[in-house]
Structure 1
Amino acid sequence: MNKNLLTWIAYRYFRSKKRTGWISFTSWVSVVGIGIGAFALLVTLSVLNGFESEITRRVIDVESHLRITGNDLTHEDISLIQTVLKNEKIRDISPFINKKSVLSTNGAEAVVRIKAIDSLALTRLVPKANATQRGDNSFISPISRLPGILLGFRLADQLGLYLGDTVSVINPLSMSGMFDVPIVGQFVLTGVFKLDLFDYDDNLAFIEIGEGQNIFDMPGLYSGIDIRFDNYQNINEISKKLQNEFGSTRYVSTWEAQHQTLFGAMKLEKYGSFIALSFIILVAIFNLTSSLVMLVMEKIREIGMLQALGLNQKLIRGIFLRLGMLIGSIGLAIGLTFSLALCLIQQFYRFIPLPSVYFIPYLPMEVHWIDIVAIALAGILLIFIGTLYPIRQIGKLLPVEAIQYEK
């Protein structure tokens, strides 16, 4: 039999006036419930995508696409990197020293992470326009001959520091004996930055790389090299190539591997949200199932007549299967359409603001088409499962009994 006929009958059942108003009500509740579930799913996943992209961008801005670490890196390693990656579009290569140290000033002390970099890298990591909260993004002080140091704004507030204050950087690991004196460097606070990343604003300080080599007793040496590319889509292949070249003497890591715990937690949160919010659709499916069961009971005589006219049970099941899929798909389509419109408008126009306590002024949203496909497939699967029980009841009906059925 023509499948279009089955679809037409299912559509007529959907449009026809039900003798029991409760059937129509539960059908529309199913549509609304499935729509709300699909809407909530796509909006939530888009918000999580937006936050993940924003955090990724900020982490890469401060760190790098690729990092090579080791306590005895030299300029020769930089030359080797340039040779191995001569066919890659390298944006910049920045050597650095990254060590734990003690910051001391005015009787206050704090254990911080010191990152020693060159002046060019500083202007890139801490842009003056949007990251320097106070002072300048420079290691040169206009009021002192001491080398400059830049602190995260939370760290500066914790120590009660102002621009021009003197800060001591102490390397406690330089003491090899009980009576040894640690290496101490004197700096002047030239800038306070705000990167809107808690770990960085709370315990990170930048100094010039030459000063770092003096304090940490690493003349001509680096503890790591950061590499940035114009396109980092094939970053894993580049990482393997460099690791094979350096062997076991160096460790090469991508930006994602450096923050594996953070990004792993965000992915887990996304999967958990998808599963949890899918229960909204599942609850609506129960309404769909109950409305189909009641509709089957109401249409028993019509079902018997269709059987008498030659339609077998498989075809009649197909009618009610199409009816259930139609009701569910309407809700799914409405929910996805409205949520997609909202997400795309917010993604490009950012009209929904966030309170100032957050690290960005607007609600981030980023639509991934794979999320839309996943929601649609999951919704269709749940709708299909919800229609199985009602259509199974049709198989228990005999044509004569169905025709003689009295409501």
Structure 2
Amino acid sequence: MDLPYELLVGLRYTRAKKHNHFISFISLISMLGIALGVAALIVVLSVMNGFQTELRARILAVVSHIQISGASGEMANWQSVAEQSTRHAHVLAAAPYVQAQGMLAFSQAVRGALVRGVLPEQEDRVADFRPHMKDGRLETLTADSFNIVLGSELARALGVMVGDRVTLIAPQGVVTPAGVVPRLKTFTVSALFEVGMYEYDSGLALIHLADAQRLYRLDDRVSGVRLKLDDLFLAPRVARSLAASLDTDAFISDWTRSHANFFRAVQIEKNMMFIILSLIVAVAAFNIVSTLVMAVTDKQADIAILRTLGARPSSIMLVFIVQGALIGFIGLGLGIAGGVALALNVDVVVPFIERLLGTQFLAKEVYYISNLPSELQWRDVTTITGVAFVLALFATIYPSWRAARVNPAAALRYE
């Protein structure tokens, strides 16, 4: 055969003979350990990617990709800003909004809320409220109807349902002979939404843009304009481009800045999980050290014979590197196959385990996300493969170096 003898000998040493089954057993344990570690890494990172994507989708159901607000908190020429913004190649839609603080009262319950005035037909283009409507429709918000749409947690805290009337108290007061009286207006609850983010479900209320302008005395002014892009990951770059091209004084923020701490924390958790689970692969990889050290001790006579036949120390070293690399390669292949298969079928495997054990890992009563989402990213698989294979190769260096230093005369003395 045309294969190098180092490769042939290394492959032959990987197969056990009758007198060295224990070495073969340790090799099998090393393979399974690497496979288990690699599979665990792929599955865990895929689940974390799924959670990250799910949370991002829920946040962006309420928060637009880019938000342009007036420098003073108000914007008079919002039509011009919207028109200039939509000229950008990556901007799909624009919608005006009014945003202010308010207090909602019903019976004896009082809750603070972030009040957002929107145009329902345009809001649908920049946000995804429609799939998250729990009761009623966003289209019930019409001008001068004084309807209001509440988050489910906010409605639960107030004790209201669709059809109830709540009082919205604006912070701007009216000066009367009796003093400053808060501005009050009664709104009818026309719909409820639930996006699965407590921050919004418990603190956001939607009303029509015209009603918000009248309540907060803005006339034709708004707070700003919200934009939707064709690629949400381009938001920082598009925001910088708009800041340079708009001819008005405005503050531009994108979704990565408005929730920077949250997404940074998720990324840090993902990185830490990668490091922690890599230790499993490292432990399994260093089992190869034990396997090869025992193999070197067992094969000292063979090594001595090869040396007397003219084999160089580097060739002896390569023989055992091949043996260790093959153990790592087989374990790596099994781990990748099992991890990818499990990551692509988490939605089937987890419900089966739940039925088998009679329990639910993510109870709907406790968690907003009751199913384990999974998103396999081949970039993660490539990184895991590279790290695991490097660890396996690194584990072969010392035993191979020790094999290369075997003294032929000493090894054959008692043969």
1:25 equivalent in structure 2: 25
1:133 equivalent in structure 2: 134
The number of residue pairs the alignment matches comes to 400
SS of alignment partner, residue 172 of structure 1: strand
Indicate conservation of the 8 Å contact 1:139/1:208, yes or no: no
- Structure 2 counterpart of 1:99, which letter? A
Q: Relative to structure 1, is the Cα distance of residues 90 and 248 closer, same or farther in structure 2, using a 3 angstrom cutoff?
A: closer
- Structure 2 counterpart of 1:161, which letter? V
Find out whether 1:165 has 2:173 as its counterpart: no
Indicate conservation of the 8 Å contact 2:38/2:335, yes or no: yes
1:155 equivalent in structure 2: 154
2-side partners of 1:321 and 1:161: how far apart?
A: 71
2-side partners of 1:173 and 1:157: how far apart?
A: 26
Find out whether 1:219 has 2:219 as its counterpart: yes
Q: CA offsets, 1:253-275, max 9 Å, x none?
A: 22222211111111111101000
SS of alignment partner, residue 62 of structure 1: coil
- Structure 2 counterpart of 1:95, which letter? P
The equivalences for 1:5-404 within 5 A come to 5-17=5-17, 19-70=19-70, 71-74=72-75, 76-83=77-84, 85-88=86-89, 90-121=91-122, 123=124, 125=127, 127-128=129-130, 130-140=131-141, 147-174=146-173, 179-246=179-246, 249-346=249-346, 352-353=350-351, 355-357=363-365, 358-404=367-413
1-side partners of 2:51 and 2:192: how far apart?
A: 25
SS of alignment partner, residue 396 of structure 2: helix
Q: CA offsets, 1:133-162, max 9 Å, x none?
A: 223323459xxx851111111111111112
1-side partners of 2:387 and 2:208: how far apart?
A: 54
Q: Relative to structure 1, is the Cα distance of residues 77 and 165 closer, same or farther in structure 2, using a 3 angstrom cutoff?
A: closer
TM-score by length of 2: 0.88
Indicate conservation of the 8 Å contact 1:122/1:137, yes or no: no
Q: Relative to structure 1, is the Cα distance of residues 110 and 74 closer, same or farther in structure 2, using a 3 angstrom cutoff?
A: same
2-side partners of 1:175 and 1:398: how far apart?
A: 99
TM-score by length of 1: 0.90
**Residues 22-31 or 166-175, more deviating:** 166-175
Unaligned segments of structure 1, at least 5 residues: none
Deviation at 1:286, TM superposition (A): 2.6
2-side partners of 1:232 and 1:82: how far apart?
A: 20
Q: CA offsets, 1:341-383, max 9 Å, x none?
A: 222244xx76644643443453211111110111011101111
2-side partners of 1:256 and 1:198: how far apart?
A: 19
Q: CA offsets, 1:276-316, max 9 Å, x none?
A: 00011111123211111111100011011111111111111
SS of alignment partner, residue 19 of structure 1: helix
Deviation at 1:57, TM superposition (A): 2.0
SS of alignment partner, residue 149 of structure 2: strand
2-side partners of 1:37 and 1:338: how far apart?
A: 11
Deviation at 1:43, TM superposition (A): 0.2
Q: Relative to structure 1, is the Cα distance of residues 95 and 350 closer, same or farther in structure 2, using a 3 angstrom cutoff?
A: farther
Q: Relative to structure 1, is the Cα distance of residues 66 and 3 closer, same or farther in structure 2, using a 3 angstrom cutoff?
A: farther
SS of alignment partner, residue 138 of structure 1: helix
Q: CA offsets, 1:54-84, max 9 Å, x none?
A: 2222222322121112245436343244235
Deviation at 1:172, TM superposition (A): 2.4
- Structure 1 counterpart of 2:58, which letter? R
2-side partners of 1:301 and 1:267: how far apart?
A: 53
2:355 equivalent in structure 1: none
**Residues 164-173 or 22-31, more deviating:** 164-173
2-side partners of 1:175 and 1:272: how far apart?
A: 54
Indicate conservation of the 8 Å contact 1:101/1:111, yes or no: yes
Percent pairwise identity: 30
Indicate conservation of the 8 Å contact 2:82/2:95, yes or no: no
**Residues 222-231 or 66-75, more deviating:** 66-75
Deviation at 1:327, TM superposition (A): 0.4
**Residues 62-71 or 356-365, more deviating:** 356-365
Q: CA offsets, 1:10-29, max 9 Å, x none?
A: 11000132624321221111
Indicate conservation of the 8 Å contact 1:10/1:322, yes or no: yes
2:358 equivalent in structure 1: none
Q: CA offsets, 1:311-355, max 9 Å, x none?
A: 111111011011111101111110111111222244xx7664464
Question: RMSD value over aligned CA atoms?
Answer: 2.6
